[in-house]
Structure 1
Amino acid sequence: MSRMVSAAVSLSLLAASVAAATPAFAGKADDTLVATFAAQLPSLDRFYAPGREGFLLGLLIYDTLIYRDTQTFELKSLLATDWKWIDEKTLELHLRKGVTFHNGDPFTAKDVAYTFNFAADPKNKVFDRITSAWIERVEVIDDYTVRLHASKVTPLALQYIVQVPMMPADHREKIGLQAFSEQPVGTGPYKVAGKKGSDIVFERFDSYFDGGPKTKPEIKTLVYRTVPDVNTQVAELARGGVDWAWYIPADQAERLAAIPTVTVVNAPTFRIGFLTMDAAGLATPDGPLTDTRVRQAINHAIDRQAIAKTLIGGSAEPIRSACNPIQFGCEQDVKDYAYEPQRAKQLLAEAGFADGFDIDIYGFRSRPVAEAIVGYLGAVGIRANLVWQQYSAVVQQRRDRKAALVIDDFGSSGIADAGAPTKFYFNGAPDDQSRDAEVDAWLEEAGSTNDADSRKQAFSAAFKRIADQAYWTPLFTMPINYVMSAELEGPVPKDENVEFWKYHWK
């Protein structure tokens, strides 16, 4: 094991001694599931709650028109009972009748039109406008029929619809966005009951409709507890202070698995880890990352295999392309950067940085992983200062052109298509730091046709150039550890979209 990874493991082992803890899971007694997350939700309005935690918020409070099964990935009817393509750019959907929002307002086509129009409007600055921006206009046929008119052929249209939460048009406009962000209203299986300190408390929506793939929750109360420090999460899991957590590092998950009152499950995801680099000079116009040789040096400097096996664990594997290998169109025949520190030093010297350079590197997910990466960079002369922030803050820094180097990861919202990560990180998107016209042209072609062969060819060309120019440093796939009370039972998803309404006490 390399010294960088060994140091990171040592730091992670500073957690409280879980073996001596006395488990006392209390959730079952008062029918309250306490789930802990590292990320704090900046808003309870799904359009302004980024990251996978925001996605889970959307599943709890809100519903979408179409549901994607977390095990089979089959698309099923939810708020839309059925849909059909009138032509390549027109989708007609019939809506479920008898559905009400948490405040009693009926769900109708008016709410659908309002939701998509709001999300697509650039002035509203929603976190992920991609899922609605493809819609040119929404046509209301009657109270329970809508047509979505696309601006162009959109292969991922149905997958985007899966992600857009339906909002109550009249209520949201009446109370205003600020009030709605604190006390939102949706049609989902849980409703917001309030806050207790920093905890967000959700209660079962007893009027949740029957007949869909989502169901009325078995557990009455769900608490979202923000615990940024993973060592504290581990200690709380061990003593029974919380009932559920995820993204627990491999070494600590192994220790927790020895406790009989805790269940640990490692599961695959679509998530990949990588570094984004300011190749276009958006943050630092004349910075070192604008030199291809420097970006290639960074790719050679990091031992992805060691980090994947030691710190991520499970089925984690190194990747070479800017996508997950299981996604459609994820080209694997691209330039591969082996772990070669000497080659990294040589490239830095050729670029004029024989003595290295100083740079801030931003991170948010796993400190042991981030510290290992900082160590690898330091070994070749890149003196990286780790700036540790919440996910939403890191992304905002990058979008504000203040973060040139970011340790990032992306779960593609569970979409098994290479169009998911590329649409978010290239194509002139807010998080695109390459701004490469050639890459954008290939990705535009892949995203504008339903022909599978044409899409594969376009993706292939795009990914080859991304790798040649080292716009990213692809790292590894990211299976995750779910840890929960042994008294708790619920399905572990294949796409990270945890469905707490399906959980129950044994």
Structure 2
Amino acid sequence: MVAAAAFWSATGDAMAGKANDTLVVAFQRGILSADYTFNTKREDIIHSELIDDGLFYIPPDTLKPVPLAAKSAKWIDDTTLDVTIREGIKFHDGSPLTADDVVYTYQWTLNPKGKTRRHKQYKVWIKSVEKIGPLVVRFKLKAPYPLAETSLGRSVPLRKKGAFDAIAKTGEEPRILEINGIGPYRLVKLEPGKQSVYERFEGYYKGSPKGRPAIKTIIIRGIPDWGTQQAEVMRGGIDVMYAVPTDVAESVAATRRAVHTSGPTMRVGFLVIDAMGRSGKDHPLTKLDVRRAMMHAINREAIVKYMVKGRAKVIHAACHPAQFGCPTDVRKYEYNPAKAKALLKAAGYGSGANIDIWAYREKEVAEAIAADLTTVGFKVNLRYVKLTALNKARKDGKIQAYFGTWGSGGVADASAIATRHWLPNDDRNMSGDPKVSEYIVGAERTNDPAKRKALYDNGFKLIAEQVYWAPLYAFTMNYITSTDTAFVAPEDGLLRPYLMKWK
């Protein structure tokens, strides 16, 4: 690590680019801690996939899990999964990966004292983890869980047995600056929030579906200001800008000194509507005709075409079209202001309907939605707040509707969005309809794809019919790359620098 750190100090960002085999990536938020075990942000996922591997891998083209650190997986029954680990996998310190390490990692994740960000998520479905051979681990589930292999992939990076022992003694959430992973790169320098430096791990195991990285050194820089990022990519100080606003991306591309690529992402935007009246009995949005008027009033096509742009597209179901179980034949609501006005009048609101809409991001889009609704007779009070304030207001039952988004963690399965929003008695579920929860929860309690699809069909069609949500659009992801960088946009919008190459 010392040699690599000295290299960086001596060369700085002047070493960016093909000539020096160093790819420099800019994020608005830099990496604060080395261990993704204790973090959740998208940047931390990208960082972790450089230095870590999980048991399974989600390829950017198929988005279906395949064995990674695992050699194979065998279902003994609906709630028992045996995972065999690949031979020859080494940690960055040269020690071999064993079943003991995998068991230790997951037992730490399941332990509430571990303070990991994944504890609640995994405790729900994993009953126990045990070693049944030198390279074989058995997972016992509490109930059938169709996303088990997906969940055993990206979210839990494997750690050497004993890696967290020092943390266990202090009981404090750590700020980790060094890490001993098994991924295709090793972390050689971390300045929290500013920069992190990675070098290709020459001992990375053959046969990994990630492949051997083509680029020797990767640097992630935290640069909050888009203008500064623009200037840096123009002068050759960085090679990749990620999650770039459309206007910034178009401005950079117009210079022809960098390349703008738009790709899909699993994130969708929607209005969550208090149909059950938690925020007040008999407010306008408790009426179905009013909710349908809202759908006909919003010009989603114009929002996508003129504001979001790129690969964004209108959605009709309360899920992403690329997700398993997301139906395409739900009830659709075309943009029709005249029909919206007629529905409002039929519901008894010919002189206008007063509603509150909360939002915490995409302010311009929220304002456009409010303007469309105002045109047909809604009297909108748009409340733009921080996410923490919105979450509290929702929990307290004070929200009639809010503009929300969900990225599903990049998972191409409807459960990644549905389960979190339609559980019974959850404050995110403002439908008041037990049938929705019955269908959605039922789809996650069987491993049979046909049964799951049928249950999701019923659930999402009911949501669309009753307008418990107003689905808006699937987002786009904008990338800027240097002219020397070969890049293909992934299907889930998650940047994978270890797959990038030079032209």
TM-score range for the pair, normalised by the shorter chain length: 0.7 to 0.9
Task: Pick one of 376, 380, 384 that aligns with 2:382.
Answer: 384
Query: 1:459: how far off?
Result: 0.9
Report the CA distance shift for 1:275/1:244 in structure 2 as closer, same or farther (over 3 A). Answer: farther
Report the CA distance shift for 1:252/1:66 in structure 2 as closer, same or farther (over 3 A). Answer: same
Task: Pick one of 235, 256, 261 that aligns with 1:260.
Answer: 256
Report the CA distance shift for 1:277/1:243 in structure 2 as closer, same or farther (over 3 A). Answer: farther
Equivalent in the alignment of 1:148: 139
Query: 1:377: how far off?
Result: 4.7
Equivalent in the alignment of 2:16: 27
Gaps of 5+ in 2: 1-12
Range with greater deviation from structure 2 (71-80 or 430-439) = 430-439
Question: SS in structure 2 opposite 1:92?
Answer: strand
Contact 1:233 1:245 in 2 (8 A): yes
Contact 2:265 2:491 in 1 (8 A): yes
Equivalent in the alignment of 2:481: 484
Report the CA distance shift for 1:74/1:313 in structure 2 as closer, same or farther (over 3 A). Answer: same
Query: 1:129: how far off?
Result: 4.1
Contact 2:363 2:384 in 1 (8 A): no
Contact 2:24 2:219 in 1 (8 A): yes
**TM-score w.r.t. structure 2 length?**
0.81
Task: Pick one of 410, 434, 457 that aligns with 2:454.
Answer: 457
Would you say 1:62 and 2:52 are equivalent positions?
A: yes
Task: Pick one of 183, 187, 209 that aligns with 2:182.
Answer: 187
Contact 1:291 1:351 in 2 (8 A): no
- Structure 1 residue ranges, 4+ long, deviating more than 6 angstroms after superposition: 345-349
Amino acid in the other structure paired with 2:359: Y
Amino acid in the other structure paired with 2:40: P
Contact 1:237 1:243 in 2 (8 A): yes
Query: 1:402: how far off?
Result: 8.3
Would you say 1:71 and 2:57 are equivalent positions?
A: no
Amino acid in the other structure paired with 2:139: L
Equivalent in the alignment of 1:94: 84
Question: SS in structure 2 opposite 1:170?
Answer: coil
Would you say 1:307 and 2:276 are equivalent positions?
A: no
Contact 2:292 2:340 in 1 (8 A): yes
- In 2, the alpha carbon distance for the partners of 1:505 and 1:398 equals 49
- In 1, the alpha carbon distance for the partners of 2:203 and 2:427 equals 37
Contact 1:358 1:385 in 2 (8 A): no
- In 2, the alpha carbon distance for the partners of 1:289 and 1:185 equals 56
Contact 2:24 2:238 in 1 (8 A): yes
Amino acid in the other structure paired with 2:438: A
Contact 1:328 1:418 in 2 (8 A): yes
Amino acid in the other structure paired with 1:107: L
Contact 2:129 2:137 in 1 (8 A): yes
**TM-score w.r.t. structure 1 length?**
0.80
Gaps of 5+ in 1: 1-23
Amino acid in the other structure paired with 2:469: W
- In 1, the alpha carbon distance for the partners of 2:343 and 2:487 equals 50
Amino acid in the other structure paired with 1:170: G
Equivalent in the alignment of 2:5: none
Equivalent in the alignment of 2:268: 272
Query: 1:355: how far off?
Result: 5.8
Q: Percent identity?
A: 31
Corresponding pairs, count: 477
Contact 1:42 1:49 in 2 (8 A): no
Report the CA distance shift for 1:395/1:125 in structure 2 as closer, same or farther (over 3 A). Answer: farther
Query: 1:198: how far off?
Result: 2.8
Query: 1:442: how far off?
Result: 0.7
- In 2, the alpha carbon distance for the partners of 1:40 and 1:360 equals 32
Q: Which has the larger radius of gyration?
A: 2
Spell out the pairing of 1:66-465 with structure 2 (5 A cutoff): 66-73=56-63, 75-102=65-92, 106-120=96-110, 124=115, 126=117, 129-130=120-121, 133-168=124-159, 169-176=161-168, 178-181=173-176, 183-196=178-191, 198-204=193-199, 206=201, 208-211=203-206, 212-215=208-211, 217=213, 218-227=215-224, 230=226, 233-279=229-275, 284=279, 288=283, 291-293=286-288, 295-341=291-337, 350=347, 357=354, 359=356, 361-364=358-361, 366-377=362-373, 379=375, 380-387=378-385, 404=399, 405-428=401-424, 432-434=428-430, 436-465=433-462
- In 2, the alpha carbon distance for the partners of 1:235 and 1:249 equals 15
